A and B are shown apart, each in its own frame.
Chain A
């Protein structure tokens, strides 16, 4: 348990130091009896964060030392079950989806993303093969229906302008 707190505390210290470094670089323009300089408030927040994060690290180093235990990973199994591959794949896929939104348009990009996501998550839980036809067709159908539903909700009902992409051109060609 202490490893998690120590590591996260060190990361937060790093964030606080970077934040304070940027704060120090802010000009003091505007400091007067009628106004706070733009750096005062952020400096206070960053300073507090640095102190509290350091307190967390010190506290857990002391606790770990007092217990005289080898600093070890968190409770058994807490992260042992993390599906890093699936996590990485879905995270990258989400960025690719955002990129494809501008390229292919909302409906095509969302269909592909939803189908991919359904197969990725489904394959992990059902242990189906990637090339299995039925799950792929189901995922594609789900992608089409859901993307159209989201499109109708945002574009037609709420009036949000979603990227049209290639679909209007494809429909014109046909």
Chain B
């Protein structure tokens, strides 16, 4: 009851301050617009607006930042679905089924489903944040480095069976991505690895570069080489022009949204995992529990709704360790944390008690932003879908130019832009070889996290590999990974046998 009273107080604070209210709404619009751009995710958007935020008081500034965070998660799905270019790492899983839905003429449905999934993901996570922030704050701490390592290893194991019909090709794509993640300077010893003498590679390859290159430029190269496969606008069925999703799709995805929300929320609580792990696990779980797993990767509504719910739910989850422990749950909350420190506010166990009005205003603003973003995005789905009506001769060069500029803008570096183009060629090559670009990116993201957590676990256990592997929580996750892989292999064999039997008959 105390939480409800505090939350209502937060709503009252926002409602009675026109500036805060306006900035919350502005943040929703800015976040969505920025999230649309390839490579410019929520953390970049918030960081770029630092000069504006510094000139404001903490409360309106942080409310706006939180709204931008949520808005950018919404925006990233639009280019993911329509153009197969995820706005940031968290939107990668949305491309797997969102873009095939668009190619099948169901762009409006995909956008609407993702808007609804994102909305419920946000709301469920914010309810969790409101009532469970303090009890759940210790969950993140319960995850020792060896348990965290096990989570990431489990994710790597699951990734191989996630996309496509060949486990071997899936493993190859993921391992190639993990190789890319090793380029740079070894943080522990300072030794350059695989930099080929290029000084710009000493800081490693940001995951955004292969994302923009493989998806943005790679997709355009493929479209130019195979124009018959270019996405066409929604076939003009009346249903596709409406802004609400198909009711039968909505019924199908309610479980997916619920599961995705919980998965994203929990993943968000884990420090450093961000929305990418949450959306990954949500998609993976959904594919395994679905009665129609063969639809995944070809336009399954659950394949869109689950990761989108998880994306937005991870926002709420990531705020828990940020507020209660002063530990960022994601890259974006790391930037928000920096703001809090600049303002002289001390995130940690006493934050809710010492800054109650501010904390609850931010949470209330996130609730409000969720409704605003749904109201803003849902009617616009048919407008967004019209992007597909733009002739290829205008759309494709613009995507190329945007991708090159986005790569340049990361660090004002022509080298990064060159890397983006090179990854475009790699992305094309992957498609020719039948390897999944999405799995390459998943490998890059997981590779960064995996080596970091491996080193932490090794350090903290003094090199005792046995104790790393036998941590009780770690054993649980390894077990889940093995069981999931085994079930998938058995399932594929059964389907293969059934298919061969059907062909003989």
A and B co-occur in one complex: yes
Binding site for B on A (CB under 8 A): 4-5, 7-8, 11-12, 15, 19, 22, 26-27, 29-30, 32-38, 41-42, 45-46, 48-49, 52-53, 55-56, 59, 79, 81-84, 86-87, 90-91, 94-95, 97-98, 101-102, 106, 110, 113-114, 116-122, 124-125, 139, 142, 146-147, 150, 153-154, 158-162
- Asked if B499 is at the interface of the complex by the 8 Å CB criterion, the answer is no
The 7 closest A-B pairs by CB, nearest first: A117-B397, A8-B433, A30-B189, A122-B393, A33-B463, A38-B186, A121-B393
| Beyond A15-B179, A45-B179, A87-B428, 17 additional pairs, beta carbon < 8 A | A5-B434, A7-B433, A22-B194, A29-B189, A30-B186, A35-B189, A35-B455, A35-B459, A38-B189, A41-B451, A56-B168, A83-B224, A101-B408, A114-B397, A117-B396, A147-B401, A153-B37
**A122→B390 CA distance, assembly (Å):** 12
| Given A113-B401, A154-B405: A121 and B168 interface contact (C-beta under 8 Å) | no
Q: Which of B119-127, B266-274, B418-426, B487-495 sits within the interface?
A: B418-426
Contact present for B175 and A33 (CB under 8 Å): no
Q: Which residue of B lies closest to A56 (CB)?
A: B168
Of B171, B417, B462, the most chain A CB neighbours within 10 A belong to: B171
- Asked if B155 is at the interface of the complex by the 8 Å CB criterion, the answer is no
Contact present for B188 and A91 (CB under 8 Å): no
Contact present for A56 and B48 (CB under 8 Å): no
Contact present for A8 and B421 (CB under 8 Å): no
Where chain A touches its partner, the secondary structure class is helix
Give chain A nearest CB distance to B39 CB in angstroms. Answer: 11
Q: Which residue of B lies closest to A126 (CB)?
A: B393
- Asked if B2 is at the interface of the complex by the 8 Å CB criterion, the answer is no
Checking A26, A55, A98, A154 against B417 with a beta-carbon cut-off of 8 angstroms, the contacting residue is A98
Which A residues touch B169, using CB under 8 A?
5, 56
Which A residues touch B412, using CB under 8 A?
160-161
Which B residues touch A35, using CB under 8 A?
188-189, 455, 458-459
Count class of interface residues, chain B? 35 or more
Give chain B nearest CB distance to A140 CB in angstroms. Answer: 13
Checking B40, B401, B434 against A158 with a beta-carbon cut-off of 8 angstroms, the contacting residue is B40
- Asked if B402 is at the interface of the complex by the 8 Å CB criterion, the answer is yes
Binding site for A on B (CB under 8 A): 34, 37, 40, 48, 51, 168-169, 171-172, 175-176, 178-179, 182, 186, 188-189, 191, 193-194, 217, 220-221, 224-228, 391-394, 396-398, 400-402, 404-405, 408-409, 412, 414, 417-418, 421, 424-425, 428, 432-435, 447, 451, 454-455, 458-459, 462-463
Contact present for A87 and B397 (CB under 8 Å): no
Of B179, B193, B401, B432, the most chain A CB neighbours within 10 A belong to: B401
Give chain B nearest CB distance to A78 CB in angstroms. Answer: 9
Contact present for B463 and A94 (CB under 8 Å): no
Which A residues touch B421, using CB under 8 A?
91, 94-95, 98
Give chain B nearest CB distance to A139 CB in angstroms. Answer: 8
| Given A5-B434, A95-B421: A49 and B224 interface contact (C-beta under 8 Å) | no
